[in-house]
Amino acid sequence: MNVSTASTLVLLVLAFPLIGSALNGFLGPVFGRRFVNLAGTISIFASFVVACLVLANVVGAPAGQGAITVRLWDWINLGGGTNLSVGMDFTLDALSALMIMVITGVGFLIHVYSVGYMEHDTGFARFFSYMNFFIFSMLMLVLAADLLILIIGWALVALSSYLLIGFWHDRPTAVAAARKAFITQVIGDVALVIAAFLIVLNTHTLSLPNIFARTQAFPAGGALITGICALLAIGAFAKSAQFPLHTWLPDAMEGPTPVSALIHAATMVTAGVYLIARFHVLFNLAPVAEGMVACVGMGTAVMAGIIALSQIDIKRVIAYSTMSQIGLMIYAVGIGAYSAGMFHFAMHAVFKALLFMAAGNVIHALHDEQDIRLMGGLHARMRWTHVAFGAGSLALGGFFLFSGWFSKEDLLGFGTVSGPGAAPWILYAVGVGVNVLTGLYAFRLYFTVFQGEPQTARGFGVKEAGYPMLIPVVILGALSVIVAWPLQFPLPNTLHVFSDFLSPVFAGSQSPLLHDPSFGLALVALIIGTAASLIGIGLAMRLWYEHRPDPQVVLASLPRVIPLLSYNKFYFDEIYDRALVQPVKAVARTARRVVEPDVMDSWVQGIGELLRGFSLDLRLVQTGLIRDYASIFTVFAVVLVVVWVFIAR
């Protein structure tokens, strides 16, 4: 692949969704629904075709040919001491090819699904315009070969997310959720920007290949590189809904379900994983930051898993499950298992998009009911959706030979060979616990929604979804079973198509935390992990399907604090509200009511008042009597003469 081919491909893959977005936004309301449906889906499909070409080119590239970077135009060139010089640079390598394949592939299916889902919504043109724009932004983010361009894509993604969360703008909750998501993202943006400052001031470049080539500017393990990586990680946490910047994701479920599937499950929220994988050269120099990332990832995975167990909104359960799974990916890239993290990202994109869309079918069939306590018994009435959801749940729960099993066991296997000391083993043990939790919450959802008896009258009258909504679900359902088979097997020295494909990206630099696993250890880890998943699924079956024992009894036997924390999402919303939002608002109110009038303006007014008072006093002299004036005049004349004659001499 030469540079001109590459730049054509990059332009095309970016242009299709952008044109689609503009067509839908400006012409959609004029030409109507059929036009929007076609323009919205075809643009993404065209982009997908180009992405396939990119993949073919990357796979077919001669060995040893690294990433190809193309510059579309110069963005800024300030020169000077800092030499801030940025171009509209895009890169094509295995990592970006993988990302654009997943984004456009899953994205296309979700767009097809949206045709059915938004059938009765009046804002269809706006919706497809935003969705297309999201695909464009996400592609820009993953293709960017310059940190500044990456930040632009990073923020545009947040913008599309904001627009789509608040899509139903008549709902105050949706509007508030959109704002919360956006502001959290801005915090992450600022962290990235400051990281960019540190990088450009030390390496005099923001271009990713150049940064990675000039790592000698950073002493390994030093405070500088650790700070940069910590800031990058904060950006990643904001985007990937990791602790402590995770609270926006559950609220983001206010958006339409296809949005949750595309943005808040498959693609955008995994951008944090991509960012860390992309910057693995820097992270490999900062073991402390890597450790922090791994701990935060695993911590979020556990926390979100516990919360998912008690939520009653079908989409929120899946949202917390997403948060938990991304936690695992973050953990993987934290310990340096980049390929494993990216593998789980790809598999997760498939089965999580599936779960969301199947949930969307359920919600649609029940006329916008999202409370799982009012569902149940849908398996007989929504056969295809039920089968697909079951496949997705098995993949999520890590059932043997389902796609999630390959990626999750692969990922956890690396936990056994990461880093010195006891901390990695603790993290690994927690990871096994997460496997149990995943099985539990995945099948709690499945059993409550699809098994048992319908809980409301509406449940008896449900119908299977239409074809536009069913076909993508079925395709993804099939994929979530088989997609991993030809790609990767979670044992060393076996089938490794996926990690071999990515190895040119990650081979150059090895994390100090990770060493190669031995076959035996990996096998033991595989067996332990699989068993943990099965235990989780089995427990869920006992609790929510066979009702032996009743879940309420189990809850009652636990210390009260655990269900309380779980149900209230560890009180993070309340804590942030009290500790951050309200104080800022109070300060702002004080500024307006007290500081502005009494401090900022008072001294100005004070000078005015002073002069006014002085002039009022002075006015008393002005009696209007000519003889008074003459007397004063005379007296001062005499005084002047006296001073002149007797004193000044």
Return residues touching another protein (CB under 8 A): 25, 29, 73-82, 84, 88, 148, 151-152, 154-156, 159, 166, 169-170, 172, 175, 178-179, 182-183, 186-187, 189-190, 193-194, 196-197, 200-201, 584-585, 587-589, 591-592, 595-596, 599-601, 603-604, 608, 622-627, 630-631, 634
**Distance separating alpha carbons of residues 414 and 322, to the nearest angstrom:** 21
Minimum distance, C-beta of residue 592 to another protein, in the bound complex (Å):
4
Name residues whose C-beta falls within 8 Å of residue 248's C-beta, 6 or more positions apart in sequence: 177, 180, 181, 184, 185, 241
Smaller CB separation from another protein, 148 or 346: 148
Smaller CB separation from another protein, 76 or 561: 76
At 639, list the tokens.
Answer: 């005084």
Q: Residue 401 phi/psi, 5° resolution?
A: 75, 5
Minimum distance, C-beta of residue 375 to another protein, in the bound complex (Å):
29
Smaller CB separation from another protein, 497 or 630: 630
Name residues whose C-beta falls within 8 Å of residue 188's C-beta, 6 or more positions apart in sequence: 154, 234, 235, 236, 237, 238, 239, 245
**Distance separating alpha carbons of residues 291 and 289, to the nearest angstrom:** 5
Smaller CB separation from another protein, 42 or 72: 72
Minimum distance, C-beta of residue 190 to another protein, in the bound complex (Å):
4
Minimum distance, C-beta of residue 76 to another protein, in the bound complex (Å):
5
Minimum distance, C-beta of residue 64 to another protein, in the bound complex (Å):
34
Question: How many CA atoms does the CB half-sphere of 128 hold within 13 Å?
Answer: 37
Minimum distance, C-beta of residue 626 to another protein, in the bound complex (Å):
5
At 591, list the tokens.
Answer: 């500024």
Label each residue of 220-283 as H, E or C.
CCCHHHHHHHHHHHHHHHHHCCCCCCCCHHHHHHHCCHHHHHHHHHHCHHHHHHHHHHHCHHHH
Kind of pairing between the strands at 84-92 and 68-79: antiparallel
Smaller CB separation from another protein, 162 or 498: 162
At 425, list the tokens.
Answer: 């083993």
Single-letter amino acid code for the residue at 283: F
Cis amide linkage into residue 549, ω under 30° from 0 = yes
Smaller CB separation from another protein, 560 or 627: 627
Smaller CB separation from another protein, 147 or 330: 147
Q: Residue 69 phi/psi, 5° resolution?
A: -115, 130
**Would you mind telling me the total number of residues written for the chain in this entry?**
649
Q: Residue 89 phi/psi, 5° resolution?
A: -100, 140
**Distance separating alpha carbons of residues 332 and 344, to the nearest angstrom:** 9
Smaller CB separation from another protein, 75 or 572: 75
Minimum distance, C-beta of residue 24 to another protein, in the bound complex (Å):
13
Minimum distance, C-beta of residue 148 to another protein, in the bound complex (Å):
7
Cis amide linkage into residue 563, ω under 30° from 0 = no
Minimum distance, C-beta of residue 267 to another protein, in the bound complex (Å):
18
Smaller CB separation from another protein, 123 or 377: 123
Minimum distance, C-beta of residue 237 to another protein, in the bound complex (Å):
15
What is 407-419 written as a DSSP string?
HHHHHHHHHTTBS
Smaller CB separation from another protein, 493 or 622: 622
